[in-house]
Amino acid sequence: MLEASRTRSISIPISSTPAITSEDFTDDPDWTGECGQRDVRGAGTESYTKRGEFPWSVAVFAHTKVLGKLQYVFLCGGTLIDEPVVITAAACIQHKHLSELFVHVGLWDIDASSDRFTQIIKVEEVEVHKGYDPSSLINNIALLVLKDSARRGRSVNRVCLPEGNQKFETDSTCYVVGWEDRRSSGGSNALLKLAAKQAGRDECTNYIKHISGVLKYKLPKEHLCADYGQVTDEQNLPVPCARGPGSGMVCTLNNKREQFFLVGIASHSLRQCTPAYDVFQKTENYISWVDTLMKKYSRDQSYYRPDPNGDNEDADEDEDEDRDTSS
């Protein structure tokens, strides 16, 4: 069986402690960048992110009673595509009341009791794809329209959405980003990343046939698989298992242009919390759907598209010079 992530209480810690912290991070509300850009000094470890490394990654919560007490219960990940709009998986929110849905923007440690960089924003509208099929998880995609716009800065920015003519080749840098979901004690639950690439369709189909036992299975055109390369269970790397559903697979268009695009939206995992292939909704198939909804809410489609006149290489050089002068 293909598995989707289960919800859990925010108060549950995990086993590993990241080798980095966010204590030296300072936000800049005056920072402005295009979609998919970030302003982060360095990067995290092989698996743990640094705050601001993926400023479009958000967490979706239900504000509900647990043992008679109101708590934020983590549902899944999501990705900011515009200040008041998050894209996630339909399976994440299909059985939840609108009144209890909140998005935590700028969040880094999901188990932190307080975080001055996090913005907690109520969800005002939910748009689930009309073709969503809970059994096959086809069209497992939804937009969350927030009551208030997220305030952008170094810790919060929106991602770019890909166009159909853009090809993410083998030299593209890709990551699956999300939070871990291990129920054991100790440590914090910082945002994780896992280097990945798109697996071949035949390769993915054959793998799923083997794991699921469904010999007639064929990977739908709406789906793609993430391949984690040489990562193995024996390496004991923390895996962002809350990636399914809702969290993003992001890639740069090529290694020269530091601008990330949301290539996939995590739909379901083949093996819970292990670096096996995971199935994602292929974002490029849904751009017209997103565009239509953004028009409905009077939002500009340029917010999640790169500036065609932008010169990112010059911007990267300027950023490197700034870092040199500040070191």
Q: How does residue 166 score in pLDDT terms, banded at 50, 70 and 90?
A: confident
Q: What is the pLDDT of residues 119-156, one digit of tens each?
A: 999 999 999 999 999 988 999 999 999 999 999 998 99
32 vs 140: which has the higher pLDDT: 140
Mean pLDDT in residue range 50-56: 93
Q: What is the pLDDT of residues 84-109, one digit of tens each?
A: 999 999 999 999 999 999 999 999 98
Q: Cα(58)–Cα(159) distance, rounded to whole angstroms?
A: 11
Q: What is the 3-state secondary structure (H, E, C) of 260-288?
A: EEEEEEEEEECCCCCCCCEEEEEHHHHHH
Mean pLDDT in residue range 160-173: 80
Which domains are seen in the chain, by residue range? Answer: 29-304 (2.40.10.10)
Whether residue 13 has pLDDT greater than 50: no
Q: Which helix (H) or strand (E) holds 212?
A: helix 201-212
**With pLDDT > 90 as the criterion, what percentage of the chain qualifies?**
42
228 vs 97: which has the higher pLDDT: 97
Q: What is the pLDDT of residue 90?
A: 96
Q: What is the pLDDT of residue 15?
A: 29
Q: Cα(275)–Cα(253) distance, rounded to whole angstroms?
A: 24
Whether residue 275 has pLDDT greater than 70: no
- Output the pTM of the full model: 0.83
Q: How does residue 165 score in pLDDT terms, banded at 50, 70 and 90?
A: confident
Whether residue 232 has pLDDT greater than 60: no
Whether residue 318 has pLDDT greater than 50: no
Query: Strand pairing partners for 193?
Result: 177
Angle subtended at Cα 111 by Cα 105 and Cα 114, rounded to the nearest 5 degrees = 65
Mean pLDDT in residue range 21-48: 72
Q: Cα(260)–Cα(76) distance, rounded to whole angstroms?
A: 21
Whether residue 2 has pLDDT greater than 90: no
Q: What is the pLDDT of residue 181?
A: 55
Whether residue 1 has pLDDT greater than 70: no
Mean pLDDT in residue range 72-76: 90
Least confident of 35-39, 88-92, 95-99, 228-232: 228-232
Residue-by-residue DSSP string for 106-121: S--BTT-S--TT-EEE
Q: What is the pLDDT of residue 116?
A: 85
Q: What is the pLDDT of residue 188?
A: 63
Whether residue 76 has pLDDT greater than 80: yes
Mean pLDDT in residue range 167-190: 70
Helix (H/G/I), strand (E/B), else coil: 327: coil
Q: What is the pLDDT of residue 25?
A: 62
Mean pLDDT of all residues belonging to the chain: 79
Q: What is the pLDDT of residue 171?
A: 65
Query: Strand pairing partners for 80?
Result: 86
Q: How does residue 237 score in pLDDT terms, banded at 50, 70 and 90?
A: low
Residue 177: Cβ-neighbour burial (10 angstroms; 0-12, 13-18, 19+): buried
Q: How does residue 276 score in pLDDT terms, banded at 50, 70 and 90?
A: low
